[in-house]
Structure 1
């Protein structure tokens, strides 16, 4: 039996993922929020629980275990807070004279609970979860200085480490990835002299290389101000610091998008959504702007390859036409219009207009429907296709669903907010997971439910990282998912 302590356990995402690995038992779980402890206890009744400010807990109050999972508070490390992350000036070490947010400083200080507990229990393996920006924890004139000091303290207690940057949608080694994006930093520590985890085995998502087909990809870091091959840091994507590539050289290590699951899998399509034009209260201008931008972006004309080799994809018609061959192999899709495929005096018309003459020659009309979109409420957020993973779930309800279908205008689309149970599914909580409010046995408010989900670790990431840890502890191979 491998035992695990879950500090800052929240609603139980990390524990839920850990217990997916045979032989793992959550021995101790602690958090400061009563609703989180109530929820964790309802779903993990065999674990001991403590509702406490962990920074005030004497570590020997809790038993020693084989693995420590710790998720110190991350919101005050994140750039999403929109505030500077410096320490500020203090009088007598208590009060900030420059207006620095003292609660934010105390929040970031929860990172120091990890070496406190490591000193007391010398856990063979420790996994620490936080946002990527925690890498730059420190004063404004020395970004990352405090983080480096934190790592130095852990080294002084005999730990080696590796920093992992991983999006939850790509954690798919021991099962499927999440249906939501969640870029996070994970620091894995193990005692010197013990077997190191096999990082390469567990951290390479699958993707389809145009030349080599389906294979495990390698993480490739860009050369940026904040990251380099010898100092990787950041998040995945076109505007991030790393991508994934094919590991084979014949294709020149082609950039390959990892296979991911869609937000549409987590959405309850049976729930009603109201037609935008029928709403008694109009949506706010910013919301409508995002809807229109998303609609225009994803419902624009497409050039669609109809023949030729595998790997060809549809391109927007406002981009250059792909190489013209001797075969007629490109079709035009123009949503949300009727597309007249042969003859006649016109090529397309609005779906709201009467259909052009139906001839005896067959089906000459194509109807392209508007896409289903997720519309975030972030200030700088953009609409996205429901066929992609959901954007990072926060502690506040900030996603809505735009249901497309056969429409002539944006106002004919149907709109509703994403519900808490849909957020939970996108974050990979089981459908039968029970969420409890501040009072034991009573359900949470919608706000409390979303807050717990938005603060959670996605269970699939904990599943993979704990599987890696168990394999290192026991020396017995665990087979990843095919």
Structure 2
């Protein structure tokens, strides 16, 4: 059975790539950021693309589809944004564009992805769900860890699966073996620097020392931001969550470096051939915003099997 998929807030294309891996045809993908649309088009040239504010979209121009995929902006919900930045802003309203698209096209099913706080902190989440119920959809929200889909990263995200059924469906998701961070880190590549330099902050040196005491000479640690305590993570575990800015450093003896764009790509579960922006900063930004393709594949396959 041929399944046509549309991808809202498509970004770099993780959801679309997961749909492709699940055997679906991605007929349309859209994002408001031209750079992201261009990268998506490079990797999915067979897909029709639109660069537009999806809150202003004319859904009559969008091809019909069986399943709608959507990753509305998470910045207004994510605690990674920081307490000093406002959370009640226009970015939260992008989720209502999903309701608008579903109302017009009435796909057989939709899958919306976001951070967990979308359901637990957004005061309008219940209203958003009620809007979907009014359109005839039963909702099955679930928090899933990308590591359980074989992605070498601990990344917990909310997936809301909506179906035109009387009751919410149950997805039978595979429980895949966790993949270690060591699977993608290349110790013979990258721009290494000595750990002990005059510019290195005491807090960084303290994390390195604690990590070395616990894990030995090689491990990963959060260089910017927090997470994984004060000691980092051993290489036999999946990496911690990849974010939109450089976060993870690799320690190798008396030297260290940040993860490369290619290593971040592998940590997100994209193939080595998936094309990225040429600038490191933009590549990391798009990767940190993406859906992990293997996780998307597992969710979509389970959805299709349950329908």
Matched with 1:285 is: 202
Unaligned runs of 5+ in 1: 85-99, 139-144, 172-176, 207-258, 299-369, 405-412, 437-442, 474-482
Please list, as runs of the form range in 1=range in 2, the aligned pairs for 1:13-412 lying within 5 A after superposition.
Answer: 13-22=14-23, 24-83=24-83, 101=86, 105-138=89-122, 145-171=123-149, 177-193=150-166, 197-199=169-171, 201-202=172-173, 205=175, 259-271=177-189, 273-277=192-196, 279=197, 281-298=198-215, 370-381=216-227, 382=229, 383-404=232-253
Give me the whole-angstrom Cα distance separating, in 2, the residues matched to 1:379 and 1:117. 36
How much does 1:472 deviate?
A: 3.1
TM normalised by structure 2 equals: 0.92
| Cα contact 1:371–1:385 (8 A) shared by 2 | no
More helix by share: 2
How much does 1:79 deviate?
A: 1.6
Question: Partner of 2:89: helix, strand, or coil?
Answer: helix
Give me the whole-angstrom Cα distance separating, in 1, the residues matched to 2:180 and 2:165. 40
Q: Decide which of 281, 303, 306 is 1:469's aligned counterpart.
A: 303
**Pairwise CA RMSD:** 1.9
260-269 or 126-135, which deviates more? 260-269
How much does 1:464 deviate?
A: 0.5
Deviations 1:21-42 (A, max 9, x none): 23x1000000011111111000
Give me the whole-angstrom Cα distance separating, in 2, the residues matched to 1:276 and 1:393. 22
Give me the whole-angstrom Cα distance separating, in 2, the residues matched to 1:137 and 1:288. 35
Matched with 2:6 is: 5
Matched with 1:428 is: 269
Matched with 2:286 is: 452
Deviations 1:107-130 (A, max 9, x none): 011111111111101010100000
Question: Partner of 2:124: helix, strand, or coil?
Answer: helix
Unaligned runs of 5+ in 2: none
Matched with 1:222 is: none
| Cα contact 1:179–1:261 (8 A) shared by 2 | yes
Matched with 1:235 is: none
Give me the whole-angstrom Cα distance separating, in 2, the residues matched to 1:448 and 1:373. 25
Give me the whole-angstrom Cα distance separating, in 2, the residues matched to 1:377 and 1:371. 16
TM normalised by structure 1 equals: 0.60
Give me the whole-angstrom Cα distance separating, in 1, the residues matched to 2:306 and 2:67. 11
How much does 1:101 deviate?
A: 4.1
Greater C-alpha Rg? 1
Give me the whole-angstrom Cα distance separating, in 1, the residues matched to 2:194 and 2:281. 25
Question: Partner of 1:166: helix, strand, or coil?
Answer: strand
| Cα contact 1:69–1:128 (8 A) shared by 2 | yes
Deviations 1:304-359 (A, max 9, x none): xxxxxxxxxxxxxxxxxxxxxxxxxxxxxxxxxxxxxxxxxxxxxxxxxxxxxxxx
Give me the whole-angstrom Cα distance separating, in 2, the residues matched to 1:389 and 1:164. 21
| Cα contact 1:167–1:181 (8 A) shared by 2 | yes
